[in-house]
Structure 1
Amino acid sequence: MVRWQKVFDNNERLFWTLHTAGWTGFALVYYIESLLHDMRSIWFLIIIMNAYAGWLLTIPLRYVFRWSKRQSAVKMLVSVAVAIYIVASLWALIKNVNYWEIYKHGYRPDEWYMYFSNTINSLIMIVCWGGLYFGIKNFQMLQKEKQNALKASTMAHQAHIKMLRYQLNPHFLFNTLNAISTLILMQDNKTAEGMVTRLSNFLRYSLDNDPIKKVPLAQEIQALRLYLEIEKVRFDDRLSVAWEIEPRCERALVPSMILQPLIENAIKYAISKLSKDGKITITARIFGSDLLIDVADNGPGAEIKNGKLTREHGVGLPNIRERLQSLYGKNFSFVIANNQPNGLRVSLRIPYELKEVEHDE
């Protein structure tokens, strides 16, 4: 399969392969048809000579056609027609010599039109050769245009995903810098220094990972821990985090930084509204061929209409939906529901994918 792909990817190799295969096919069809008429064995040699002559004479047509495509429409049509007629005439002449001089040993027919029957047949064959040549070239051109359009669409698609991902960072950065500024004003330099270090590590993770590529959930959780450690400095004992991650979920691939805005949302609209005992629960499990991830809080909750929060005016949740749709098409779900006994729960369902294929022990 790879070998044939190399043939189709190289125009020069493709031409010679199809050109030779076409004339070989012509010789085989002509020979099989001749068997029905009980021809002499020398006829096989005549067929080979005629096919070789056709193979040889049509090679210059390729370069004439290539030149004609750069000319005006009228000039192209005239040059193509003249070239086909000349080649067809030469081929008919060679076939006549092969037939009357070699096969018929110099015999001459009484009917004059017998000399021209080969010319018409030859003209039809060369016109077919030219039609196939232009047909294949036009097909290649259309395929190349489709590939270019697909490539442009893919690049735009990737740029769109990157834009969505990087829109999220300024919100977190603004909140964290405010917290660090407050710690410095309070002269709590040690805590502020720790936050700067964690912020640096978190942003390095955020910027080093291509938004187009997916990362193992374990790697994403490690980044979330950095983020939550920063937020715990802000909220102290008002924030606690529970992790309920099935071990086999850790190798599952997820879009990088897909969970951070969910947790940021929970902190902004739930934890910050509580005076104590704020809790965020993050769960991940496998169900069939899907990875299920939940982010739940015990905050005051919010009004939900048509599966969306009535207060959903920021970039966080809409961006998550757009990123998931860009990466998975329709094969995902993003559900916002009320948590029990209170708070909100955001549930994600995406295909269960692994970075490496698991081997049965």
Structure 2
Amino acid sequence: MRISEEQRIPSFWQFQLGGWTVYFLMMLLSFLPSKELRQELMYRLTFCAVCFVASFAQHIVCRRLWRHQASWSRVIRVVALSCYALGLVSGTVLLWLEAKYLMPSWEKFEWYYIFANALSPTFMLAFWSALYFGIKFYVAQTEESARLLRLESLVHEAELKALQYQIHPHFLFNTLNSISTLVYERDTATANRMIARLADFLRATLDGEGTYESPLRDELDITRLYLEIETTRLGDRLKVVEDTDPRLLEAGVPRLLLQPLVENAVRHGVAKRREGGELFIAAFREHDDLVIQVRNDLMPLHGKPCTYGIGLTNIRTRLHQLYGESHEFTIDFSTGNVCRVTIRIPLHTYVAPLELAEAQVQEN
């Protein structure tokens, strides 16, 4: 199970016991070399023990101030008063112990010494209070940062899901429109083949619901199912050429990346040409990037070429969400009546969500 950042922060008791133990050991080690100062050592250790007990009372004050989200001016006033009050009590206890047990031959208990004797415990408790609020503020900032990261992740996930869902109705509408045309023309055999292929296509796309990436192999399979539907409709007018490096079949790519590109190329390019045209799909490695190209023949262009539609805008947005500035997405109309779409993303091997979760568990 993955441990969150706030779970790694020690609790109050860990800080309390750990901090005072370190302070106690430092006192002990600093006086051990000198045998003549054993009585001073006993006083310092007693001072440490008394302040340790007083810090629990100070903790009640500080915790209440923190929970009520008191202003810093009120915190300073209340903490100063409580530290001095506890300092007076601690100083009185120390003075009595010193006169009674630690140095009875040197000291005797005098009430007017308690105000001077209260200064050291007061400063110690003030330092303890500053550490308390500093640690609480750090923990609160850490938890807020973690909350914002979780919120950002949820928003990121919701945006990707919304974009992914947008593909299904877009493609479904176009395909059903083609089937409707075939039924109207009484070409039932072709319509039946398209319906069967449509069922296979939807089954393939819905099987991976909830994932944002898939291996290139699966994307090519889904795209081939779509092309079977279009080939049934267009016949010999659609010529498909595929050139994919087989070593890249397990590379991770955005889910349903190729199908919208191919659909756009067929519907706005090849299908509009009376003689049809060629659709070229390529995937190859270039340095540390995976490059995917879809090229198709176009009708002769007059003026400005086509702009981004739903499918291409969807792809551009998803690429930015997944890879940020580490991707490229270009559309080139410069070579005659040909449109070339090029996508460049970081090359990485696809890891299934279950395998990724298991790897995270092993790391922790």
Q: Shorter-chain TM-score: which interval?
A: 0.7 to 0.9
- 1:219, CA displacement in angstroms? 0.9
Q: What residue is the counterpart of 2:319 in the other structure?
A: 324
Summarize the Cα distance change of 1:161–1:8 in structure 2 as closer, same or farther, 3 Å threshold: closer
Q: What residue is the counterpart of 1:241 in the other structure?
A: 240
1:207-218 matches, within 5 Å, as 207-210=206-209, 213-218=212-217
Confirm whether residue 102 of structure 1 aligns to residue 101 of structure 2.
Answer: yes
Deviations 1:66-124 (A, max 9, x none): 22334465876665444333332333233334444333234227998765444111111
Find 1:60's aligned residue among 45, 57, 61: 57
Rounded to whole Å, the distance in 1 between the matches of 2:102 and 2:301 is 96
- 1:127, CA displacement in angstroms? 0.8
Rounded to whole Å, the distance in 2 between the matches of 1:95 and 1:50 is 7
**SS of residue matched to 1:329:** helix
Identity of aligned residues (%): 32
Rounded to whole Å, the distance in 2 between the matches of 1:296 and 1:80 is 73
Confirm whether residue 20 of structure 1 aligns to residue 17 of structure 2.
Answer: yes
1:267-282 matches, within 5 Å, as 267-282=266-281
Rounded to whole Å, the distance in 2 between the matches of 1:97 and 1:268 is 95
Q: Which amino acid aligns with 1:167?
A: Q
**SS of residue matched to 2:342:** strand
Q: What residue is the counterpart of 2:349 in the other structure?
A: 354
Rounded to whole Å, the distance in 2 between the matches of 1:314 and 1:277 is 22
Q: What residue is the counterpart of 1:343 in the other structure?
A: 338
Q: Is the 1:302–1:344 contact (alpha carbons within 8 Å) kept by the matching residues of 2?
A: no
- 1:324, CA displacement in angstroms? 0.8
Q: What residue is the counterpart of 2:252 in the other structure?
A: 253
How high is the TM-score relative to the length of structure 1? 0.84
Rounded to whole Å, the distance in 2 between the matches of 1:266 and 1:339 is 16
- 1:273, CA displacement in angstroms? 2.2
Rounded to whole Å, the distance in 1 between the matches of 2:5 and 2:94 is 32
Q: Which amino acid aligns with 1:192?
A: A
- 1:218, CA displacement in angstroms? 0.6
Rounded to whole Å, the distance in 2 between the matches of 1:62 and 1:193 is 77
Q: Which amino acid aligns with 1:155?
A: L
Q: What residue is the counterpart of 1:138 in the other structure?
A: 137
Q: Which amino acid aligns with 2:102?
A: Y
1:28-177 matches, within 5 Å, as 28-34=25-31, 39-41=36-38, 43-71=40-68, 73=71, 79-108=78-107, 115-177=114-176
Find 1:314's aligned residue among 306, 309, 313: 309
Q: What residue is the counterpart of 2:294 in the other structure?
A: 295
Deviations 1:141-167 (A, max 9, x none): 222222222222222222222222222
**SS of residue matched to 2:118:** helix
Q: Which amino acid aligns with 2:224?
A: R
Q: Which amino acid aligns with 1:242?
A: V
Instruction: For CA contacts below 8 A with separation 6 or more, give which structure has more relative contact order.
Output: 2
Summarize the Cα distance change of 1:75–1:287 in structure 2 as closer, same or farther, 3 Å threshold: closer
Mind listing any 5+ residue stretches in structure 1 that lack a counterpart?
A: none
Q: Is the 1:202–1:226 contact (alpha carbons within 8 Å) kept by the matching residues of 2?
A: yes
How high is the TM-score relative to the length of structure 2? 0.83
Q: What residue is the counterpart of 1:9 in the other structure?
A: 7
Summarize the Cα distance change of 1:302–1:19 in structure 2 as closer, same or farther, 3 Å threshold: farther
Rounded to whole Å, the distance in 2 between the matches of 1:131 and 1:301 is 76
1:221-236 matches, within 5 Å, as 221-236=220-235
Q: Which amino acid aligns with 1:350?
A: I
Deviates more, 1:21-30 or 1:128-137: 21-30
Summarize the Cα distance change of 1:76–1:37 in structure 2 as closer, same or farther, 3 Å threshold: same
Summarize the Cα distance change of 1:20–1:110 in structure 2 as closer, same or farther, 3 Å threshold: closer
Rounded to whole Å, the distance in 2 between the matches of 1:251 and 1:206 is 17
Q: Is the 2:296–2:338 contact (alpha carbons within 8 Å) kept by the matching residues of 1?
A: yes
Rounded to whole Å, the distance in 1 between the matches of 2:39 and 2:107 is 19
Deviates more, 1:342-351 or 1:144-153: 144-153
Summarize the Cα distance change of 1:202–1:7 in structure 2 as closer, same or farther, 3 Å threshold: closer
Mind listing any 5+ residue stretches in structure 2 that lack a counterpart?
A: 356-364
Deviations 1:197-237 (A, max 9, x none): 22223223334434662111111111111111111112111
